[in-house]
Structure 1
């Protein structure tokens, strides 16, 4: 087997080596060469991967530096617009200072603002003082350059000492205020380069990045350092050219050494990585769904809590065994007990009246057993506050059903009706007082009529009494004969009749004026009219009005409050007679009172009061039942409103109709015996 090496070219020592050793060396050299080639390929791949990673890091850093420079330019342009928007004018110094201070609070990179006139004298200023020659010279140069360019100009940076031994690198910006083509003043803004980097670029920096302003020779002026450093540093620079000044924006990025796994190891873990990534994606999706559900649940709970806390209605939840599981703040404030003292309690409850504990316990047992009627039906009861005071409440309860449709307890809605009852009592008392006032006003108007009506029976009584005395006083020495005694007896009977007549008039007025308890009773329609007819006829005789009464036969008695209905009849008849009194030239004034069954059927009765007066105009009809509205100078405007309220409290209805050929008819309905309206 030839080795491929000419015998003349073999070294002298090789001739003495065994042939098999030469073959082994050849094979091992090939394996070493193959291994070196593979190692070289792997090293090259690692080097190329590192170079690629470094180029990617450098490109990202270059893009970040460009973005940072763009952000700085936008920030300076935004600040310039805000400064030019400050108010000017001769009288705007205070407004300028106020808005300048507000602008400085919103723009931390600005440390000072000055408003100068055309001679660069300071008219107004805001911010920290920078009373240094350097500051004045840099600002003056910037303003001179701005006047030349007729545009904003920036000065070179300078170092300014601050209180406390610290300092900052500052830069001046001067913008001319041009009016009608001439410079009328300047706006000078002082920038802190450190604050400019920290507030504009700092929030966008990564933890491994740092940014700084440098001069052209590399002198660092301001810097925002990286929070974390790696083994390699990458640098990108951007020329930050400003009118009048040029700075270099330098961005440093720290990165760990590039590490690339061999392809074989990557191939081995690729499948596992794909599986892990898939599982991770599934977990991320489920986590996001769970977080969304938790967020929605938290929002729903917060909304429900805010809604329950804002309610003035008490809420109370009980389980199937009668233990309180929840009370809202309104219920705790209502009864005066804290939630910790109520939750978990069972019967008897601390807010139950002691003497009604057995009754309330039985009602709770019936409720828990479902034998208390429909859940929507409420019931009124009394609770006791922690201070011992009692108050009425309305309780509405409904079953509590959980998410699985299982009945787990009862939810109660408790309303404090003490204010409602107090308002109802006040309304009732006020109504009674208004009614009594109306009756007294009516009696006052009838005082003259009453005196005229009583004059007749009183005059007759006086005449009969004088005649009787004359008959009972005979001539001296003679005795009264039988005829005189008979005449005296007739006179005394007529005196009694006239006295009874006067008494009836006075009694009818007295019964009408005095306050009686408001209770419902069955009263025949004839008695209602008889109670007020004497008073009606008093005014009718004065106004020359004829009164006609018609009551249908077979009517059931009226179930009403007698005093209130009498007031309604009197008010309507008085209005009717006054309406006829205003009508001049009428041939006959006729007031018709009629009682019959209501056309709608049932035991309802219909009362009507008709006149032949001038009727009701359209503009008055629209406000006829409005309280305190009247067309008479002496009226109170409460009569018709009071009448409608009384009728509606009895469950009836009051309306009016135009009468043909003239006049008005007022009609109202009242319940007969067996058809009760709502109670007072």
Structure 2
């Protein structure tokens, strides 16, 4: 079920991918349309800028024409005074000038006090200021202020000056907007009079501006606030108007020259470039349509490929076998999740990694590098695989079964190596458990045999021991009848024989009870009594091995509650082991020390501690791990049951048997026993566990 679910996940991811692709196509089409619109808009803006530029140039040309005409008029007025004319001759010349310059409405000759000496009006209009220069509502007196101001500016500038514009009504109800120009007349370095010319602003536009400008545009004079003073020309009306304005800066007055041009809306394709862009956009849209059809076919193929990839990915992810691919240089190119989980490294940490691999144990890097060099040389490994050891990221090691094969591409060429890995830790654990179980079964069978042998021996040895004890007792009785003639040493030897025979009987009985799991009879025994009971045997063994025995019994020790015979055997066994451990040492170093004292850590609980200290070579770590295991022994003639039985006896008393290293050399075996007034059995077990920890 894992593979189909993964395939459905791939389909679920492909659906939004398809929608994203269609969205991208729609965005591309929208971008093309927007670009087309922007190009048309920019083309229109470009055409409008061209029209505006031409209008600005026409305005500059018109302004130049007006200035040139006004300058020529000033020169003509100066020419009227060049020959010291009389009023009559001046009138004739001024009339001729007015016939040639339609923009001039009136010319006056005034003296230095601004009194009129002579004047002439244009022949193309009626008198501008009525029949008399000082009569009527349009009389000349109304303009005296403007004339005086213009002449004052002329004196200051020492040249022509212009007044502000003003409106002069006419009898037809239309009227004119005029300005006054005052030109000072210089004679012998002094102002002898003034020539005053009155301009009609509309006639200035009609006569001083080129006629070609007025055919397609409206030309006007305006004030700074936009009030129109004079207008000339008639432009064709359109949907869009273009305007250009420039200042006509005259001495004493400033006018605004304005040109208005009306144009129709720019055409859809104002130039060839826009048409070409439009054609390219249409072609691009056609290509987009074809690409959309091709994309649908590609999406179907990709969907099928994604399903196949999803199925393969699902199979790879569901494998418990680790997979790894390497190129011909030994770099990792692929790992599956099972391999990453096996070694504890992520795929990002492994991909591209060469030798040494991060999961190789440091002490085996050289061996693995040699093996990889052989593999990269082209030697095909066995198909059944080989075992190796890897190391996880946390440092733990585990065995693996490696199966490698050449990685062949679609062209039949080898591009690397493909490896499969099986974690055989569980298999090894099961094998180890099986081996341990077999060993335990064998140990149990051997223990059962030993128990049967112990029971048989205890039964068979009881009668010989009883006979030895009887013979020893009878011999001592015979010696007593002989009186003083009996040797004292012989009596002592017979007494010892009888005691050891009885002790052997008690040992056999205790072992018999121990094997049959009967409750042992415990009695309060003094520590010194336990030690004295085994000292004859310890002394014999020490004399034989050349060992010096030192005993140290702390005074005032309480009695211990124990099975005396079994505890004596524990002490005797530990003492013998200590003396045998010192056989390789020099005679001066063969010292065995037996101590009895209150347990330091359990003094308040009432425990007594025995310590057997030797000065042998010590116990290696690997031997110490199995020292109390049944049937484990380092002696050629040993059975490996002594220390195991000693620990069992001590633990049955609630105590703890252990060992530690002795500085500078040697080993200390120690065990604890409860005193006569010791704690309850439950407390004793708890204390024993604490001591063990």
Q: TM-score range by the shorter chain?
A: 0.3 to 0.5
TM-score with structure 1 setting the length: 0.35
Which has the greater radius of gyration?
Answer: 2
> Which structure's relative contact order is higher, taking Cα pairs within 8 Å and 6+ residues apart?
2
